[in-house]
Amino acid sequence: MTATIDTDTPQTTSQPTTHAGILAWVTEVAELTQPDAIHWCTGSDEEWAELTASLEATGTFTRLNPDVMPNSFHAASDPTDVARVEDRTYICSVDERDSGPTNNWMDPAEMKDLMRGLYAGCMRGRTMYVIPFVMGHVEAEKPMFGIEVTDSAYVTVSMRVMARMGTEVLSRIEELEAAGEDPQWVPALHSVGMPLEPGQADVAWPCNDTKYIVQFPEERMIWSFGSGYGGNALLGKKCYALRIASVMARDEGWLAEHMLILKLTSPQGVTKYVAAAFPSACGKTNLAMLKPTIPGWTVEAIGDDIAWMRVGEDGRLWAVNPEFGFFGVAPGTNEHTNPHAMETIRKGNSVFTNVALTEDGNVWWEGLENPPARATSWKGEPWTPESDELSSHANSRYCTPIKQCSILADEYDDPRGVPIDAILFGGRRKTTIPLVTEARDWNHGTFMGATLSSETTAAAVGAVGVVRRDPMAMLPFIGYNAGDYFGHWIGMGKDHDAAKLPKIFYVNWFRRDEDGGFLWPGFGENSRVLKWVIERIDGQAAAVETPIGHVPAPGSMDIDGLDVTEEQLAQALAVDPEEWKAEIPQIQEWFEKFGDDLPAVLWSELDTLTARLDA
Ligand code: GTP
Ligand code: SPV
Ligand code: MN
């Protein structure tokens, strides 16, 4: 029989669990946070209908016109709660050294004291939702369970889109336990941090000026307070599937990465799988759903943000997407740049946050076709195409079920994943970095990843357009010492047959000419780069060796029908030794941050690069 929670306090709205550990934790959280009610999520359609209706009632959601966006909703956040807060994100390892020089750290006991103070009574006047979820497949060999407890209905409905969740997941945990196994689950506590006093009206977007996004890596535990925004609040995503999972991956010999996964099929029917790590808002979702411009090639999507990769018995690197939805950047998404995303969204069942709301109950954002004559901006103000302000926040997002994507590869549903042939690293750089470069070997590829640089974007709070090192596009997501993380990457090449591991490439879609225009048209045209990559792997395409790696030989890239001059292409591919020499001291300074924790191999790679540039 199901156990019940002490009913002195909150009203429990549905069945809890036979799992003593989960029940004890939920009870402990309820005693601390004092919610009015506890709701155990089932993940059913009825639950979705109830929760979305309650969000309409509080003014958080506006239902979109069902004729254009069925079962879909518009939300506008508090203007201060629009992105990940890297300054407020902590890795609270027992030993400070284990969080490394790239993370914020506080002693875990001290952090818990501080946060218990914030959590005390923080759910008063609200319902606490208990969300059993699994990242990856529920039938995986070792399913990666989590229980998110949150006082936000917005987070609950978003979690239903982004992760496999609900009764089925809880039943699976209970079943494994009953069978004598010890299924591990990550406790993930979230509160918007805005209790309601009796009679106090709620606001559309509750949040708190004080924010903490905290990972306790040894305990595999997450505590988040004060924000309702995606990466801060949907705890299965960045907090679990990257920060906590990267620690598990280090301990167990696999990789948890900020990567898309795609399947590429040539006109001859040959299939390859590509994973690519680009920093936030640097093109993963767009590449994952790419519509090739070169005839006969097709791309199918497997994932757009996170890849978990393990070396299989065959020695190849197998990748799964642990997520269940897309949480994509809205601005710039349109019928030309990402027709498959548009088609996915139009099927409905989606949440749009911080975009504009049109008078006919649709959404609009910068870059979308057919601007409306009038709309309400994300700030709730009247907006017209003549307005000085943007209609949508630069980090506004759509949240949509992955199963609605018509080009989702069948392999998405395979718990074994897909064997990766190529890994791309990429960043947003106006200068210096060529359109595509092939690494000489695994260690050189790891060096490319470890030194990846990119201009900051609106996906995180802070200045935009500042070049920073973002190793493997994981700077905000490595759950441990980044020096050890580099060592783990190097170790993957040492512990396994490097010949069977993916080949590594470095791409840059964002190089500019003197007038500030993009040298490369990007989007669907990136299929030409993918083709060159595949042909390199198969030993077909020619390359020239440069100090930084192999770049396409003149004429080796398929530019048939492309509206780019030879001159522009040459500029996009150019390796300028002077620009690269200017990078060397920056890379040196970056590496010095890690002291003795930096693998010596990376210093030798830097020496090799310097020597080649000087030669
Ligand atoms: P996160 O979800 O934050 O991790 O971002 P992401 O890496 O998935 O980035 P996304 O694909 O959403 O792209 C972000 C922005 O970059 C959008 O505004 C795109 O329009 C733009 N973008 C993507 N691909 C290209 C490209 O090939 N060329 C150019 N010029 N812009 C691109
Ligand atoms: C990113 O910032 O890399 C995202 C969006 O994918 S969030 O889930 O908010 O982290
Ligand atoms: Mn991302």
ipTM of the shown complex: 0.99
Q: Ligand 2: which residue has its CA nearest to atom 10?
A: 231
Is 396 known to sit in a ligand binding site?
A: yes
Q: Cα separation of 528 and 126, whole Å?
A: 52
Q: Cα separation of 77 and 415, whole Å?
A: 35
Residues 6+ apart with CB under 8 A from 5: 12, 16, 23, 26, 27, 30, 38
Segment 506-549, tens digit of pLDDT? 999 999 999 999 999 999 999 999 999 999 999 999 999 999 99
Segment 258-288, tens digit of pLDDT? 999 999 999 999 999 999 999 999 999 999 9
Residues 6+ apart with CB under 8 A from 102: 475, 478, 482, 593
pLDDT score of 9? 61
Q: Ligand 1: which residue has its CA nearest to atom 28?
A: 522
Q: Within a 10 A sphere around the Cβ of 28, how many other Cβ atoms?
A: 12
Q: Tell me: pLDDT of 225 over 60.
A: yes
Atom of ligand 2 nearest to the CA of 229: 9
At residue 552, the 3 state secondary structure works out as strand
CB of 238 closer than 6 angstroms to any ligand 2 atom: yes
CB of 239 closer than 6 angstroms to any ligand 2 atom: no
Q: Within a 10 A sphere around the Cβ of 458, how many other Cβ atoms?
A: 18
Q: Cα separation of 447 and 443, whole Å?
A: 6
Report yes or no: 146 and 234 within 8 Å, Cβ to Cβ: no
CB of 237 closer than 6 angstroms to any ligand 2 atom: yes
Segment 96-142, tens digit of pLDDT? 999 999 999 999 999 999 999 999 999 999 999 999 999 999 999 99
From ligand 2's centre to the CA of 459, what distance in Å? 6
Q: For 332, which DSSP code?
A: T
CB of 427 closer than 6 angstroms to any ligand 1 atom: no
Longest dimension (CA), the chain: 77
Q: Cα separation of 282 and 510, whole Å?
A: 9
Q: Dihedral of the CA atoms 567, 572, 574, 580 (nearest 10)? A: 150
Q: Ligand 1: which residue has its CA nearest to atom 26?
A: 522
Atom of ligand 1 nearest to the CA of 283: 11
Q: Tell me: pLDDT of 4 over 50.
A: no
Q: Phi and psi dihedrals of 469, rounded to 5? A: -75, 135
Q: Cα separation of 422 and 262, whole Å?
A: 10
Q: Tell me: pLDDT of 498 over 60.
A: yes
CB of 280 closer than 6 angstroms to any ligand 2 atom: yes
**Average pLDDT score over the chain:** 96
User: What is the average pLDDT across 576-583?
Assistant: 97
Q: Cα separation of 468 and 602, whole Å?
A: 18
Is 207 known to sit in a ligand binding site?
A: no
Report yes or no: 285 and 302 within 8 Å, Cβ to Cβ: no
Given phi > 0 = left and psi -120 to 50 = alpha, else beta, which region is 328? beta
Find how far residue 147's CA is from the centre of its chain: 19
User: Hey, which residues does 273 pair with through a beta bridge?
Assistant: 263
Q: Dihedral of the CA atoms 42, 21, 145, 207 (nearest 10)? A: 70
In the Cβ-directed half-sphere of 554, how many Cα atoms lie within 13 Å?
Answer: 6
Residues 6+ apart with CB under 8 A from 451: 469, 471, 583, 587, 590
**Residue 6: band (very low, low, confident or very high) from pLDDT cuts 50, 70, 90:** very low
Q: Tell me: pLDDT of 5 over 60.
A: no
pTM: 0.97
**Residue 1: band (very low, low, confident or very high) from pLDDT cuts 50, 70, 90:** very low
Q: Cα separation of 298 and 536, whole Å?
A: 18
Catalytic residue among 92, 207, 282, 405: 282
Q: Ligand 1: which residue has its CA nearest to atom 21?
A: 283
Q: Cα separation of 66 and 2, whole Å?
A: 39
Q: Phi and psi dihedrals of 220, rounded to 5? A: 55, 55
From ligand 1's centre to the CA of 387, what distance in Å? 25
Q: Phi and psi dihedrals of 37, rounded to 5? A: -145, 155
CB of 353 closer than 6 angstroms to any ligand 2 atom: no
At residue 579, the 3 state secondary structure works out as helix
Q: Tell me: pLDDT of 3 over 50.
A: no
Nearest to 503 by CA among 424, 431, 385, 448: 424
Give me the residue label for tokens 């890379």.
587
Is 39 known to sit in a ligand binding site?
A: no
Is 283 known to sit in a ligand binding site?
A: yes
pLDDT score of 13? 65
Instruction: For 201-237, give the DSSP string.
Output: PP-SS---SS-EEEEETTTTEEEEES--SHHHH-TII
Is 328 known to sit in a ligand binding site?
A: no
From ligand 1's centre to the CA of 285, what distance in Å? 7
Report yes or no: 202 and 196 within 8 Å, Cβ to Cβ: yes
**Residue 10: band (very low, low, confident or very high) from pLDDT cuts 50, 70, 90:** confident
Report yes or no: 303 and 414 within 8 Å, Cβ to Cβ: no
Atom of ligand 2 nearest to the CA of 280: 3
Residue 282 appears among annotated catalytic residues:
yes
Q: Cα separation of 398 and 327, whole Å?
A: 6
Q: Phi and psi dihedrals of 252, rounded to 5? A: -110, 0
